[in-house]
Every structure is written in C-alpha cells, then in structure tokens.
Amino acid sequence: TREFAMLRTLGANRRQIVSSVVIEALAIGLLASVVGLLGGLAYAPLIGVIFEAVGIDLPNTGTVVEPRTIVVSLLLGTGIAVLSALAPALRATRIPPVTGLREGAVLETPRERGRRNTAGVVLTLAGLAAMLLGLFGVLEPGGAWLGTGAAATFIGVALLSPRLVGPIASVVGGPLERFRGIPGRIARENAVRNPGRTAVTAAALMVGLALVAFVAVFAAGIRGSINDAIDKTIAGDLIVAHTDGFSDIPVQVTDAAGGVDGVATASPLRYTQSEVRDAEGGGYLTLVDPVTAAEVLTLDWREGSQETLTGLGPSDAVIDEKWGEKNGLAVGDEFSARTVSGEELTYTVRGTFKDTTDFIGDYAASDVNADAYGEERNATNVLVNVADGADADAVRTELDELIDARYPTVETQNQQELKDSIGEELNALLGIVYALLFLAVIVSLFGIVNTLALSIHERTRELGLLRAVGTSRSQVRRIVRYEAVITALIGAVLGMVLGVVFAIVVSRPLADEGFTLSIPVGTLVVLLVLAIVAGILAAIGPARRASRLDVLQALAYE
C-alpha cells in the first residue's frame, strides 16, 4: 500500500498501478498454473495406487493428457490469479496517497466493512435456505440448488469470518496464553491484529476441513444406519457368504449347513435382477425360501406380516413401499417381471415393507422360480439359525470345518463380523475421499506459510525490538509457531462447524429413510489435532527466518 502511494505521489495514475498488478498477476498465475498442471500429472498415478491399495482395480491405459486439460488448467489458474489480485489493487489505488504513505494504512474503510458483513449475512442465510428448499424438493433440480446453497454459505461465512477471528482466537489461543506465557499472548494478538488477512488465510483450511467433517459425519451416519438395519432385518445367528462379500456361492451350502448338529434353520437368499414392465428404477429382488425365510428375516412391514412371507406362492411378491409408491403398486395389484432367461412372470403384491438399506431390493418372491432367473444353482448368502439350547460356538466351529473342507471360497460371519466387514469396505472408500480432500489441506498450508512470511516481513522492526529487549530466538520461533497454530485452528473450527451443519441439514430428509445421524466426536478431535500439526509444519520455515533476523539490521529496517 505504501509503495503504491509513493508511486502515486511521483505521478503514476491509477490505471498504471492496476496494469502493473495485472501483469504481475498474469506472470505469477501462469507460472503457478504450469507448476500445478505438472503436479496434477504427477499426482494422477498416485490416485491409481490409492485405488489399488483399497482393493479397487480400475482399468488403466496409462496417463492421458488431452489438450483441453492443459488449456483449462492454464486459463483457470491464470484467470483466478488475476481476479484475486485485481480487487485489492483497485482498493489500494482508491486510498489517497498521503494516507497510504502512513505506516499501518488499511485498505478497508468502516463503510466497506459494513457492506461486507451485510453481504455475508445475506449470503449465509440465502445459502442455507437454498439448501433446505433443494433438499425438500421445493426447488428443482434439488441437486443444483443444494450445490448453489452450499457455495453461497461458504462465501457468506468467509465474508463474516473476520468478525469471528477475535472470539475464536480468544478461545483457541487462550490455553496457549495461559500455559505458554508471553509468547502465547503475543501470538494470539498477532493473529487478531489483521483479522481480514487471518480469515483469508484460514479460509482454505476451512473449506477443506468442512468437506472432511461433512464426509466423516455422513459416513458415521451411514455406518450406524447399516448396523441398525442389520440388527432389525437379519434374525439369523450366522451369515454364510463368499469371502469377497458379493460373489454367489453354491446353493448346496444350504443343505450342508442344515445338516450340522445344532443348526435349526438354514435359509438361502438369492439377490438377482429382472426387468419389470412399466416400472421406474426397478427390477432388483431377493428370492427367498418361504418355508424358512420368516425364521431368519424380519422385515419392517407396512402391510402384511411374517406370515405373509411364509405364505408366498409362485406368483406372489412383497414389495418395497417406496418402490411401490414410485410405480403406483399396492397390495392386490399385479406386475410383470421379465427374467434373464426371457421368461415373463406375473406377480401379485401381497404385502409391503420398508427397506432402508436396500438389503432385499425392490421386491421379494419365492425361490421356486429360481431357475427362471438363472439362479437355481446359486445363492447370494445363507442365513443360519442355531437351535435353542445348542452350544453356538461349537456349532459354528463344526460349520466352519465343514465349509473349509468343501467350499474354500465360502466363510461364516456373525452379525457383528458382518457389520465390521461392511465398515471396512466403507473405510476403504472413505480413504480414497480423504486422500483427494488432503490436497485441499496442502493448499491451505501454502496459504499459512505465505501469510506468516508476509507478516514477518512487515514486522521486521517489531521482531528486532523484541530481540533487543531480551526475547530469545526460541521464543521468537514459538511466537510464530503459535500464531500459525491459532490461524489453523480458526480455519479448523469454522470448517468443522460448517461440515457438521451441512451434514445435519442434508441428513434431515433422510431420517424417514432410516438414516441415523451420528456425530463422530473422536474423528473431529483428531481433525483438530491434525490442524495443530498442520500449523506447526507450516510455521517451520517462517519461524526459523524470524529467529535469525539480525537485531541491529531489523531495528534499522525501512
């Protein structure tokens, strides 16, 4: 600001100042875009390695770089750099030269600050309203309004964040001030000295951790919902399935398991597909054994009962309530299903149930027609009930020995083990998401490093004075580190609050579908700890530079 003011006093006009900033931004943006493009190309193979590590083997023909990838990267990166530099340059040229020459001149007037706060409040409220209206189907398409609302909320909170820097810094910086003394206090005061810049620095980390927190909360809710559905739906003591969790197993496993001493019931389930005439989004079904299904399955009935399941005939079916409403089917109606063999079967709806996790599919029917679906030799899994009074551990041991001897690709699980295996699969997918979101955290670290470097440059004389009055090099390093930690925690707190709020808003319409909202407190605490570590890592370079300033040169710095 002072440099621009000096140029203005020497005769440079506003257009020349802005032009110089635009040219500088073009150069920096182009260079950064090239580096970013090369970094993206280097990161692409790593994504494939991550997928392979979690067991997802994607087809790969090597790295493909299309011209549009290069063009879009360079244009987008350079354009963002120019736009980012243009606004503050215009504001700087509006400050009278005499005012700008003063040390400590600010770019923002109280009037501009008021406008920004008003815009922040309006955007935040409008964004939340758009999200809710999109989620509840008031505005169409819902997905577009949800994304627009989320973006508006992010921008609104970012505009309001300078007002939040002080209170949050007092909360997160209080322990540092209390337990680390003067360095902690100076760090906290430095963080709030220029709240606008601190807020901008924390914004990148806020966005990254908001997405991570949203995914963590939603994943915890999905895991809880699946566990609840397993508890309510599967009445069997053991589940026999393929070791990979999804492939079919020989249906003969049913008879083998039923012949084990202590096994009361062994009932096969066949998950398959058909083409339902005039149906929207349908055709997935489970073929059950009517004689035994009611003993190992407990459906959430809306119309009908367990006896309905037992009484299923060759032309009877029970349907998922939501699928029935979508296709105008109710109890007593008929629908036609064309199987993989080309045979067309007509079913009469005998009952409806609610299937929140799609464990059964769109409908369930008797497995007497298994051959028509091409499933006469297969089963997706077999549910086993242990007889009352039998030693469950001994029964499972004998069953495991039998299966290992005859069917090496088949395994048994109890309900808890099934939950754990599904949780592991979910964790694998989350690992991929977290790996991609980690890039946003890396970007935020660069922001913290840049801000600290600029702050140290601006406070050269101040740091020299601190050293002159007795502050040691280690204390200077701690001041810079603590300031980085406070900045990182400000972004982390704002991000986690936004992430949790987004998860709560998005999950509300899903509550009727069986979604169980769960806040993973442990995960959120880990995110806070990681934010502290990120701040410490970002401060390593700037802290070393600050501690190595020559005292006399710093005091004479101009």
pLDDT in tens, 246-277: 788 999 999 999 888 998 999 999 999 988 88
pLDDT band at 209 (very low <50, low <70, confident <90, very high): confident
If DSSP codes are grouped into helix, strand and coil, which group holds residue 181? coil
Question: Distance between CA atoms of 105 and 115, rounded to whole angstroms?
Answer: 20
What average pLDDT does the chain have? 84
Interhelix angle 415-458/460-468, nearest 10 degrees: 90
| Average pLDDT estimate for 185-193 | 85
Residue 290 and residue 309 in contact, taking contact as beta carbons nearer than 8 Å = yes
Query: Is 205 in contact with 441 (CB distance < 8 Å)?
Result: yes
Amino acid sitting at position 238: L
Alpha helices in 54-141 (DSSP H): 67-93, 97-101, 110-135
Report the pLDDT value the prediction gives residue 331, as an integer from 0 to 100.
Answer: 92
Alpha helices (H) in 332-414, listed in sequence order: 392-406
∠ at Cα 376 (56, 402), nearest 5°? 70
- DSSP character for 377? T
Using the CB atoms, write b or e for 44-76: b if 16+ within 10 Å: eeeeeebbeebeeeeeeeeeeeeeeeeeebbee
pLDDT tens, 455-496? 787 778 888 888 888 888 888 888 888 888 888 888 888 888
Q: Report the distance separating Cα 83 and Cα 87, nearest Å.
A: 7
Q: What is the pLDDT of residues 309-366, one digit of tens each?
A: 899 999 999 999 989 988 889 999 999 999 888 889 999 999 999 887 778 889 999 9
Q: Choose the weakest-confidence range: 28-32, 113-117, 128-132, 213-217.
A: 113-117
State residue 317's pLDDT score: 93
Q: What is the pLDDT of residue 467?
A: 83
Residues 6+ apart with CB under 8 A from 330: 324, 349, 352
Mapping DSSP to helix (H, G, I), strand (E, B) and coil, where does residue 529 land? helix
557 pLDDT above the threshold of 60: no
What is the enclosing helix (H) or strand (E) of 272?
strand 263-273
pLDDT confidence tier of residue 439, bands split at 50, 70 and 90 = confident
Under 8 Å CB-to-CB from 547, ≥6 apart: which residues? 473, 474, 476, 477, 480
**pLDDT number for residue 100:** 61
User: Looking at residue 8, what is its pLDDT?
Assistant: 82
In sequence order, what are the residues at sequence separation of 6 or more whose Cβ sits closer than 8 angstroms to the Cβ of residue 7?
A: 16, 17
CA–CA distance, 409 with 293 (Å, rounded to integer): 24
Pair of tokens at residue 89: 């340059």
- For residues 495 and 517, give the distance between their C-alpha atoms in angstroms, rounded to a whole number: 19
In angstroms, the CA 374 to CA 376 distance is: 6
CB-based contact 341:372 (threshold 8 Å): yes
Which of these, 330, 346, 327, lies nearest to 338 by C-alpha position?
A: 346
Pick the closest to residue 524 from 490, 502, 488, 495 (CA basis).
495
Look at strands 316-320 and 344-354 and give their pairing.
Answer: parallel
